[in-house]
């Protein structure tokens, strides 16, 4: 009996384990399946997220390029990093890189993987390729060499330490992708992303124009590093058909309510950082318009001034132009006694959270074509007529942003155009400077694209801020720096990029940014 009991006691755990594992195995799949998850991704949903994330993640938020391009500033060193280049805050510039790869880069890659092999989804594939170029162009223009060919392949190919591609190779591939994708778009094929396409709602003809307009933008970026290639790509873009009508401009619409993803990201960040109370004095981060921006608008009698800017008098916003005044970026850490008298963004235009975010506009295309005409790369229209069209388009686009018609008075637009006609008797460089002065104002608040043009051309001729403790010796930054984590988690690829491109600091010029 003792022996039998002993055998039983040894057998019982084994029987229990067998029963337990049999039970677990029987229900394992059901128990470990999330009933709220899907096993197959829906490309349209991921595409929407990739659009939202790319619109959100740029140098236009997180206190960066709006200050660098002297649109905004602050007496506060942190908020004013972009306009002061404070050494202690340099790592703010790593955020776009860190966020981009797990967000829009990974997302658009998953869309491409899901649709590329299905001939019926040719338009989805083409549109995803175009948006992928947009995402990567914004990223490489900030940092230079970046992971590109091996990017977003951690899950698919176990590439957890992707190489950094040279920016010259990235540009060559992006332009090739735009050309191929634009040709592949097929209006006769009804399969599109439809309502999930937050840019053009499935309109393939407009995506084609966006592709060629992006080609124009990137082609012009090569003007100093490879003028022949720039001329060739501009010619291809024009032949394909670029954005020349307001109905075709690329934009992301927002409802302005609910979750933050539904709100214009630039307006939301500016609002949350400084302008919630709308009284001109309670700005938590000390933000105001930059003196250079307001001084320029006033000096040129620019009719956009009352559309963009207000000053608070006795707690009430006024657009009276004589009262508008920009804050000097040189103020050193102490809130000035007359802080309330400085201009700040208008709540119903610049800070309007249900306003569309303009991605690529008629004004930008017109003004880039004006520069191309001055360089002899485009002769179907005169530089003077393109320049005038660009000014008018840049002013009229505020109707879209403000959600009303006639945001800028027509009579004042006419007067401004007359007073600021292109000086065709001056040399080419002087006229290009005029073009880029207009691009600087016309691109606001897309400071990242204004910075790209500034680095390429040197215009507008902004005066850098030699602020105490700055990281650049009083020079305007030329690039963002890589995240510190890349030095440890992807050291070999990081080191190769630095060896090829130059020191990982704010003053190293990227490939197309030549003296």
pLDDT, tens only, 147-166: 999 998 877 777 789 999 99
Q: Three-state DSSP class for 96?
A: helix
Domains and CATH numbers, the chain: 43-253+356-360+445-501 (1.25.40.390), 260-345 (no CATH)
CA distances from 508 to 144, 504, 514 (A): 9, 7, 11
- Checking if the pLDDT of 5 tops 50, the result is no
Output the average pLDDT for the chain: 93
- Checking if the pLDDT of 364 tops 50, the result is yes
Helices 447-457, 122-143: axis angle to 10 degrees equals 60
Kindly indicate the confidence band of residue 138, based on its pLDDT and cuts at 50, 70 and 90: very high
How would you label 109-146 residue by residue, b for 16+ Cβ within 10 Å and e otherwise?
Answer: bbbbbbbeeeeebbbbbbbbbbbbbbbbbbbbbbbbbb
In angstroms, the CA 459 to CA 462 distance is: 7
State residue 35's pLDDT score: 61
Residue 299, C-beta contacts closer than 8 angstroms, at least 6 positions apart: none
pLDDT, tens only, 260-301: 999 999 999 999 999 999 999 999 999 999 999 999 999 999
In angstroms, the CA 420 to CA 300 distance is: 8
In angstroms, the CA 238 to CA 485 distance is: 42
pTM score, two decimals? 0.92
pLDDT, tens only, 89-119: 999 999 999 999 999 999 999 999 999 999 9
In angstroms and rounded to an integer, the radius of gyration of the C-alpha atoms of the chain is 26
């Amino acid at each position: 009996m003792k022996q039998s009991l002993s055998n039983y006691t040894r057998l019982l755990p084994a029987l229990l384990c067998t029963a337990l594992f049999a039970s677990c195995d029987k229900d394992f799949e059901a128990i470990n399946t999330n009933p709220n998850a899907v096993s197959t991704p829906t490309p349209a949903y991921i595409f929407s997220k990739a659009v939202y994330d790319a619109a959100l993640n740029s140098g236009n938020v997180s206190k960066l390029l709006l200050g660098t391009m002297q649109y905004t500033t602050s007496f506060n060193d942190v908020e004013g990093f972009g306009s002061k280049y404070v050494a202690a805050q340099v790592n703010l510039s790593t955020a776009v890189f860190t966020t981009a790869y797990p967000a829009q880069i990974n997302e658009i890659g998953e869309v491409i993987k899901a649709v590329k092999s299905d001939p019926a989804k040719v338009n989805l594939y083409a549109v995803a390729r175009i948006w992928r170029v947009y995402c990567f162009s914004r990223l490489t223009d900030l940092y230079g060499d970046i992971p590109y060919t091996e990017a977003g392949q951690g899950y698919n190919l176990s590439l957890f330490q992707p190489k950094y591609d040279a920016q010259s190779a990235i540009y060559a591939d992006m332009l090739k992708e735009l050309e191929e994708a634009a040709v592949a778009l097929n209006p006769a094929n009804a399969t599109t992303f439809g309502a999930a396409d937050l840019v053009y709602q499935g309109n393939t003809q407009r995506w084609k124009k966006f592709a060629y307009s992006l080609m124009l933008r990137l082609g012009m970026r090569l003007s100093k590093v490879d003028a022949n290639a720039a001329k060739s790509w501009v010619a291809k873009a024009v032949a394909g058909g670029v954005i020349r009508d307001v109905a075709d401009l690329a934009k992301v619409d927002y409802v302005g309510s609910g979750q933050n993803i539904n709100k214009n990201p630039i307006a939301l960040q500016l609002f949350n950082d400084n302008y919630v109370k709308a009284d001109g004095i309670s700005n938590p981060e000390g933000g105001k318009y930059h003196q250079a921006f307001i001084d320029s608008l006033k000096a040129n009698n620019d009719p956009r001034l009352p559309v963009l800017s207000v000053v608070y008098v006795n707690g009430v916003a006024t657009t009276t132009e004589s009262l508008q005044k920009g804050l000097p970026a040189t103020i050193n850490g102490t809130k000035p006694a007359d802080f309330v008298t400085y201009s700040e963004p208008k709540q119903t235009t610049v800070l309007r959270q249900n306003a569309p975010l303009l991605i690529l506009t008629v004004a930008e295309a017109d003004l880039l074509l004006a520069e191309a005409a001055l360089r002899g790369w485009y002769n179907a229209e005169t530089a003077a007529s393109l320049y005038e069209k660009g000014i008018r388009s840049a002013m009229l686009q505020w109707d879209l942003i403000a959600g009303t018609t006639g945001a800028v008075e027509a009579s004042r637009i006419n007067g401004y155009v007359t007073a600021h006609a292109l000086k065709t008797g001056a040399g080419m460089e002087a006229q290009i400077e005029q073009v880029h002065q207009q691009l600087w104002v016309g691109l606001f608040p897309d400071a990242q694209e204004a910075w790209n043009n500034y680095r390429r051309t040197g215009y507008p001729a902004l005066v850098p801020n030699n602020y105490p403790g700055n990281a650049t010796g009083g020079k305007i930054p030329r690039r963002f720096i890589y995240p510190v984590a890349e030095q440890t988690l992807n050291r070999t690829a990081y080191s190769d990029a630095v060896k090829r491109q130059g020191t990982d600091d704010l003053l190293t010029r990227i490939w197309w940014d030549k003296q």
